[in-house]
Amino acid sequence: MNIGERKKPYPEGKPGYLRVDSVHQGDLDKEKGVYHIHLVDEVTQWDVQLSCEGISEQFLLPVLEEALSLFPFEILNFHSDNGSEYINKTVAKLLEKLRVHQTKSRSRRTNDNALVEGKNAATVRPVYGKIHIPKQHADRINEFNRDHLNAFNNFHRKCAFPAEIIDARGKIKKVYKDYHTPVEKLLLIPDVEKFLKRGVTVASLRHKQTAKSHFDAAKEMQKARMALFNSFKK
């Protein structure tokens, strides 16, 4: 049985079309580092990161299920490259249970999962760098992700959103002029309420959006990051 449809998703302005990738913190002396599971919504660039000790079913599945639950809108599509951590019967069964369509990148189409791969460089590596972080720190990292990083990325970090322009030769060119936080972009979607999960409202999102200034949120996130990295040395 083939797992996942080999195609590029087309969200047509609807949130819930996720691009998914894993980021490894490297090996040291044959010891595996922690893995970051990174999910980014294509339309709003809503960004969720959680971490785990490995990408086997034992470690990955609970983290992946939690990560999907952290989005404020219903998930419609799950897209990854062809790595075996996502293209397997266990993940397919989870997505089927959640009624989420699964797609995977096409052969020789390197841009199919480019959004999340670019975000790896923009929102994962600036926080965690490329140094080896031992896998036993995964739970501690997730406390930071849940309490600070995900909220900062979605309510306070501006993202560039492209507009497609067709030039005189008929070639599509992307121009970046619009900058919004993911929550701002989400709230700009017409009739956004119909996409939100039960218990999530426009008012609750606006409350989280204005609870802290961008500056205070950044300062708080950096302070927590320093405390996290200091804890690795103990």
Q: How confident is the model at residue 205 (pLDDT cuts 50, 70, 90)?
A: very high
The whole-angstrom separation of Cα 194 and Cα 224 is 35
- Placement of tokens 């660039």 in the chain: 45
Instruction: Quote the crossing angle between the two packed helices 89-97 and 57-69, to the nearest 10°.
Output: 20
Please spell the DSSP secondary structure of 166-224, one letter per residue: E-TTS-EEEEEEEEE-HHHHHHTSTTGGGGBPTT--HHHHHHHHHSS-HHHHHHHHHHH
Number of Cβ atoms within 10 Å of the Cβ of 22: 18
Instruction: Report strand pairing: 47-52 vs 35-41.
Output: antiparallel
CA distance 42 to 11: 8
Tokens matching residue 27 = 């090996």
**pLDDT for res 175:** 86
- CA–CA separation, 161 and 178 (whole Å): 5
Q: Of all residues in the chain, what percent carry a pLDDT higher than 70?
A: 99
How many residues are present in the chain? 234
**Distance, CA of 188 to CA of 180 (rounded, Å):** 10
106 band by pLDDT with thresholds 50, 70 and 90 = confident
pLDDT at 28 over 80: yes
All domains of the chain in start order, with CATH: 14-136 (3.30.420.10)
The DSSP annotation for 6-28 comes to ES----TT-S-EEEEEEEE--EE
Q: Using alpha carbons, select from 151, 141, 189 the residue that is nearest to residue 42.
A: 189
Strand, coil or helix: what is 142? helix
pLDDT of residue 162: 87
71 backbone dihedrals φ, ψ, rounded to 5°: -75, 140
Does position 109 have pLDDT exceeding 80, yes or no? Answer: no
| Contacts by 10-14, CB closer than 8 A, 24 or more apart | 11/42, 11/43, 11/76, 11/77, 13/43, 13/189, 14/43, 14/76, 14/189, 14/195
| 232 or 187, greater pLDDT | 187
Residue 57 φ/ψ, nearest 5 degrees:
-55, -40
